[in-house]
Every structure is written in C-alpha cells, then in structure tokens.
Amino acid sequence: MKITARHSFLSFLLIILVGGNIFAQQTSDEKILQQIEQETNDTIRINLMIRYMRIWGNFKDYTKLIAEIHDLSVKNNYGPGLMYYRFYEGVQLSDQGRYEEAINKVKSAIAGFDSLGIIQPFGSPLYFIRYIFWKAGKQIEMFRYYSDKIVYYKRYGPIQNTANCYHGLGQYYRSLADYDKAIGYFLHALEVDETFDTVGVLNEKGIIGGTYLEWGNLDKAEEYQLSTLKELIAMNEVFDYDIYDALGKICFKRKDYKKALSYYFQGKQGYKASLLQALNLVNIAAIHQELGNYDSTLFYLEIAEKIRQKEKSVIFFTYNFVEIDYYFFKYYAATGNGNLALRHLEAAINQVDSSKNIRLLLTYTNEISSFLLKQGDSLQSLRYLMQYQTLQDSLNKLSTRARIASYEIEQQQQQQETEITQLQTQKATQRNYYLIGGVFLVMIVLAAFSRFRYKRKRDEEQLTTDFKKQLAQAETKALRSQMNPHFIFNCLNSINSLVMEEKHEIASEYLIKFSKLIRLILDNSRSETITIEKELETLKLYVTLESARFDNKFRCIFDVAENVNTSSIMIPPMLLQPFVENAIWHGLMQKETEGTITIEIKMEGEEAINISITDDGIGREKAAELKSKSATHKSHGLKVTSQRIEMMNKLNSTGAQVNIFDLHDESGKATGTKVELVIPV
C-alpha cells in the first residue's frame, strides 16, 4: 500500500516542469493588481477592482477591495460601483441563508446596470444570480427570470447581456440531464460572447466541454476542453478554470490513469481558489484509489480535508460538489475499515442533501444500500433502498414539473419575441412614410425660402427713405437666411441615414426635434434681435441634432453666469450657431477621441456681454492642412457672421467684437480654438 518510487519521481517531475511553465511569466491577475496599486483615478481604479473580482474573484478573500469599491463609488457618486456593491450585499445575504432577500438585492443591482445601459459580461451579477436561485431551490423562477430578460435585452439592449441569460437557461436544462437542449443554449451564449467577451468565450467552451463529459460524449468533451486550454496558453492566462481537471476526468473515464494524473498535476499548480485546489486533490486521490495506491489516496484526501475545514461554502460551488467524504468512504471500504467507511458515506449523504444535489444524493443512497447489504445489515440496507426509490420518484416528478414549466415559459418567450419581430416589421414599413414625409418637408422648406427671398426682393424695391439703413437691414436678413439651408439639408440627410439604417424610433425622435428647430429658425428670422434665452434654446437643439448625427462623438457644456438675465438681454438671432458649427466640423470631427465644446456667457462690466465658444479640437492650423470640404464651408459661415456683426456695428453704432484665439499646451501642441464675442447691451 505504499507509494512506489516510480510514482514519487513522476509526481515530483510533473510539479517541477509544470510549475516552471505556469509561473514563468506574470499573469493577467497579477498585472491588474499592479495597475490597481498604481492607479490614481478613482473611476478607473473602481473598474479595475471590479474586473479583478469578476474574473478571479472570491468574495470571501476580497473584503478590502469591496470596501474600497464602496467608499470610492460613494465619494464619486459612481453608479456602476454602487450597483456592484449592492450585488455583493446580495451575496452576503445568500451566505446567511436569506435567499429571498439576496435574490431581490441582486435583481436590484442588475436593474441598476440595465438603467445605465451597461453590458454585463461573464462574472457579473447577471451571471451569478443563478447560483442564488439554485441555493434557494427556485430553479423554475430562475428559468422565468432569464427568459424574461432575454426578451428585455432583445428589445431594449444591450443585446450582449443575452449571453448570461442563455447560459443560465443552459444550466437549467443541464440539471435536468437534458444535455442536447443545454448545449443548444450554451452555444447561443458562446455566439454572443464571441462578439465582446474573451473571458466569457473561454468559460462557455469549458462549460460545453463539461456538459459533453456528463453526457458521455468524451470526444466532443475533449475537443472543447483542449480548444479552451489552447487559447488560455496562447493568452498566457491562468484563470481558475478547471480545464486540466476536466481533461483529467475524460482520461479517467477512458481508464488512461497515467494521462489523467498528468493533467491533474498540471492543474494543481494553477488553481488559486481553495475549493478548486480541494477538488483537484480529490481527483488525484481518485486516481490512486483506482490504481490501489491507498497511502497516496489517503495523503491527498487529508490535504483536501484540511482545505475543507478551513473554508466555508460559497455560492460558486452550489452544485459543483467536492466529493471528499465519498472518496474517504471508498478508501476505508477498500482498506477494510467498515465503520469509518460508513461514517464518511453518511456524512457525504448529509452534505449533498443540504446542497440540493439530488442526482448525487441518488448515487450515494444507492451506494450505502449496497454497502450495508455487503456488511450484513439487510434491514438498514432496505431502508436506504426504499429511500432511493422515493428519491427517484421525486426526481422524476420534479423533472416532469420543471419540463412542463419551462415549456410554458418558453412558449411565452417565443410569443413575446414574435411580437418584437412583428413590431420591427411594422416599423420597417414606416420607412417609406418617413421618406415621403421628408420630401414634403423639403418642399415646405423650399417654399418658405422662396417666400423669404421674394419678400426680400419686394422690400428692396420699396426702399424710398433712409435707404442706407433699410438696405443694411435687408442685407442682414439676407445673410441670415443664407445660413438656414445648411442646417436643413444636413438634418434631412441625417434623418434619411437613420431611416436607411432602419433606426425608426431614433429617426422619429430626430424628425420631431428637427421640426422644432425649423419652427424656431423661422420664428426667430422674423425679428432683428431675440433674447439670449431663445438663442440658447435654438443652439441646444442644433447641438443635440448634430451630436446624434455623429454618434455622440462630442458634448456641449453651457455655462451661464448667474448675473446674466437671459430673458431680457437681446442679440441678433443665429449669431452663435456658425461658431459652434465651425467648432464641430473644423475642430472636433477630425479628432480621434471624444470632444467638448464649452459655451460660457458672462457680463463684461455693466454695458457688455461676453460670449466665448471653446473647443478642444485639432486647432485651426491642423484643420487648414487637411483642407476638408466641411472646413471650407465653415469658413464661409464665419465670413457671413463677421459681415453681419460689421453691419450691426454700422447700423446701431455699436462696438461688437469677435476675437479668435488658438489654444496650446505647455509643449506648444494645439489643444483647440476659442472664439470670444463681446456685444454691447
């Protein structure tokens, strides 16, 4: 019963070789820990800590990180961090056995992420809520929750979140041993993960391989596990995936114990979670049990037992049960200690009973019945045999109820998805209506412009007195109207693009805002001056439309001083728009990152108002080098505006000024442009 010298040498050699291979380079979790230590930006630090816990996390070990996430999120009012802490509170409630409260708490966290439109990848609350449902014995409720969420995310997004929902539904069918359907859902999850989540892809492939292993298809199981292992090695990652243990189990079932042991020893060096270490040790003990190396069996089981005594159960291992007592039973049964064997098997039965793992409970109950019969205790054996039959009947009834419930839920989900499809089809038919509406709108706008030009010409012909003043007024109105077509045709092009892309809801909203802008332009054009309040209303609407056209590539900040009475101070209409338009096209559209325009309005003394328009774009010099068409157009807009201000000064004998400054950083690099208007009031 002793460990042979050959086996000792093999084990030692495996540890040396594998240990050197795994720890030769710094792994991603170590790199993230370094980044967390060095990061000074609170938001980035929070996100790094969340990523670290999401991929490598064990909540029991990261109390300090959780506390820091909470404190920094409260300090910065950072929604994602606060939602993640709420999820952690749910985990704590689950560990206390308060499952209903835990489920509601985690649901609340998920709803918070949904309200922020945040994608929830592998390891997020949306992924882990299924464990709490499972511990609470609410598998059907879990199935309904994920089914409803799939419909929600397909309708409102983010569509990436359906990956976790498909995964949860796959695990539900896996628990019913409906492996074909389970793998179908896992493949759906994998397809979505491949669009955005590398870690999720690796996890899903490992799950699919594990499901094939349970199904008995060892070749497909090996195919997926080897594919996952290959990607992990290529990425130099050592996540706590049980890939090596899964490959070891495949070889174990093939009775290739030498290769199985090799895989188990490779996995032994990479696991950081204590329960994964215990699982690995039990698998190694199982190999030695089959080989008759009972001293080695006991050696590894005792190490696993020490880990179990140290650790408490957590949600991550609700039904991934570590069979320490069962293999202690097998060891003592093989070495002739019937009392200890029976004691450990009874302990194993108690543990799987509390974990709600009915299938494993069936196996253990059948095992103890057979063992007692061999020991000559036929009465106790019969009692466990009857218990086995009762469990089998309960499992069959539970499975039947679960299948019926899941079928009904799936039918409801299919009906909802059909409604979504019909709605999308209905919206698609509206495309022609939008196009026709756009044509009519163009005709109306052109008619309006024709009317304005005709009126201008008629007014010019009727000039009889104070010719110079009336001529200046007419020319000012003409220059103002010349700027309007550019707004209109840009907006119409945007609406047409949204319609072509079948973004009908956005197109409808855009069209409403565009119509409001046209109305404001037409209303304001009738007046020589308007209030700053009306000018800002028009400008904000224009910025909103332009921002939507370019996928929110820039943002605009309005800063109005408290002593500026926007409802009484008058300025010429559409005076600020060309400068903002120039900042967008001339400065920000050529910038690779998100840009910002800041519009600041303040009093300059008591007799003038100062309006500055600042962008953090590429600067005028760089824009001139690019010689883009948009830049050329914007120069014309600025020229027209300059002429208007010049005429305004002549007409009213005012001293309005326009100053343009090129902004640079300390190294002389262009950091944007600032336009400053000083207008007497």
Same domain, 671 and 620: yes
The model's pLDDT over 199-224, given as tens digits with 9 standing for 90+, comes to: 899 989 999 999 999 999 999 999 99
pLDDT at 185 (0 to 100): 93
pLDDT at 1 (0 to 100): 38
Residues contacting residue 127 through CB under 8 Å, at least 6 positions apart: 120, 121, 164, 167, 168
User: Which one of 50-59, 89-98, 157-166 scores highest in mean pLDDT?
Assistant: 157-166
| Domain final position from 208, 241, 274 | 241
pLDDT at 112 (0 to 100): 94
- Say if residue 465's pLDDT is above 60: no
Tell me the average pLDDT across 407-427.
62
- Say if residue 106's pLDDT is above 60: yes
Q: Write the DSSP symbol of residue 568.
A: T
Same domain, 130 and 183: no
- Say if residue 236's pLDDT is above 90: no
The model's pLDDT over 171-192, given as tens digits with 9 standing for 90+, comes to: 988 888 889 889 999 999 999 9
* Average pLDDT of the chain, as a whole number: 80
Distance between CA atoms of 497 and 506, rounded to whole angstroms? 11
Same domain, 203 and 113: no
Contact 538, 514 (CB under 8 A): no
pLDDT at 20 (0 to 100): 33
Choice between 338 and 26, residue whose per-residue pLDDT is larger = 338
The model's pLDDT over 545-564, given as tens digits with 9 standing for 90+, comes to: 888 777 788 899 999 998 98
Q: What is the CATH number of the domain that holds 626?
A: 3.30.565.10
The phi, psi pair for 601, rounded to 5°, reads -125, 125
Q: Where are the alpha helices (DSSP H) in 254-377?
A: 257-268, 274-291, 294-310, 324-334, 338-354, 358-374
Choice between 68 and 414, residue whose per-residue pLDDT is larger = 68
Tell me the average pLDDT across 512-539.
84
- Say if residue 450's pLDDT is above 80: no
Q: Confirm whether 365 is domain-assigned.
A: no
The pTM for the full model equals 0.56
Tokens of 63: 């109390």
Same domain, 578 and 657: yes
The model's pLDDT over 277-317, given as tens digits with 9 standing for 90+, comes to: 888 899 999 999 999 999 999 999 999 988 888 876 443 34
Quick one: how far is CA 524 from the chain centroid? Answer: 44
Q: Identify the domain containing residue 551 by its residue range.
A: 529-535+543-681
Q: Where are the alpha helices (DSSP H) in 430-529?
A: 431-461, 467-500, 504-525
Q: Where are the alpha helices (DSSP H) in 136-273?
A: 139-156, 162-175, 179-193, 198-215, 218-235, 243-253, 257-268
User: Which one of 140-149, 350-359, 382-391 scores highest in mean pLDDT?
Assistant: 140-149
Choice between 269 and 80, residue whose per-residue pLDDT is larger = 80
pLDDT at 224 (0 to 100): 94
Same domain, 485 and 551: no
pLDDT at 361 (0 to 100): 82
pLDDT at 52 (0 to 100): 84
Domains contained in the chain, number: 4
The SS3 of residue 386 is helix
Contact 422, 399 (CB under 8 A): no
| Domain final position from 120, 135, 150 | 135
Of 122, 49, 117, nearest in space to 84 by CA: 49
Which strands, in side-by-side order, build the sheet including 595-604?
A: 554-560, 595-604, 608-615, 670-680, 657-664
Question: Crossing angle of helices 378-429/431-461, nearest 10°?
Answer: 30
| Domain final position from 526, 555, 588 | 526
Q: Confirm whether 401 is domain-assigned.
A: no
Tokens of 504: 């009908």
